[in-house]
Amino acid sequence: MDESIDRTSTQTVGIRECFDRSTPFIRFQTMRIDTTELRKGLSETGRFVLSHHVPAEFYRCYSPVVFGRRVHICARCAGVYPGIGAGVLATLIGPEVTPATVAFLVALLPVPSLVDWSVTTFSSRRGYNPVRTVTGFLLGCGYGLAIAHLLFEAMVGLLGIGVGYAILAGILLYYSW
């Protein structure tokens, strides 16, 4: 480090100076990875890659055997991710719809998933994985429509729907513990 530079002073620096390799503002260093720590972390968290459920909730997962090992895949998430793709694709190649229709769909499509999750969380009903997958797909479609319309149409009003659902989900999660 160059000791002659006063790091407490405020200076105006141009963009070229910030990316000049000779200035001390950006240091290029080789990062070392502790492979032992990485392996330890992956072995402890690897089971959560495809499913975020603890073993007591594996009934909420599909459990195929892949290469001789049983893997758990969250049933709802198995629908959410394709649903996101479908929602984005519908926005890109589907018919033109009014902003009110988009807002209505973004608000409505997550409801079945929220109802199914609430029923199986707050009652003794265990539910069915195909229902979780279908409601997850609808949830994903809502996500995909919202994401695409936020990015491509700048429909920032959709953020209000997302915030509303986030608050509701937070309250439900709080009471589920």
Instruction: Please tell me the predicted confidence (pLDDT) of residue 9.
Output: 47
Mean pLDDT, 10 residues at a time, the chain of 177 residues: 48 48 56 83 79 88 91 94 97 94 97 96 94 98 96 93 95 92
Q: What is the DSSP string of 5-68?
A: S-TTS-----HHHHH-TTSTTS---PPP--HHHHHHHHHHHGGGSS----GGGGGGEE--EETT
Using alpha carbons, select from 126, 127, 121, 141 the residue that is nearest to residue 79: 141
Instruction: Please tell me the predicted confidence (pLDDT) of residue 1.
Output: 47
Quote the Cα angle for 25-28-32, to 5°.
135
Residue 80, both tokens:
């959410």
Classified as helix, coil or strand, 69 is strand
Instruction: Please tell me the predicted confidence (pLDDT) of residue 109.
Output: 98
Domain ranges of the chain: 75-176
Neighbouring-strand partners of residue 92: none
Element (H, E) at 131: helix 129-153
One-letter-per-residue 3-state SS of 64-112? CEECCEECCEEHHHHHHHHHHHHHHHHHHHCCCCCHHHHHHHHHHCCHH
Instruction: Please tell me the predicted confidence (pLDDT) of residue 87.
Output: 97
> CA 18 to CA 6: how far, in whole Å?
16
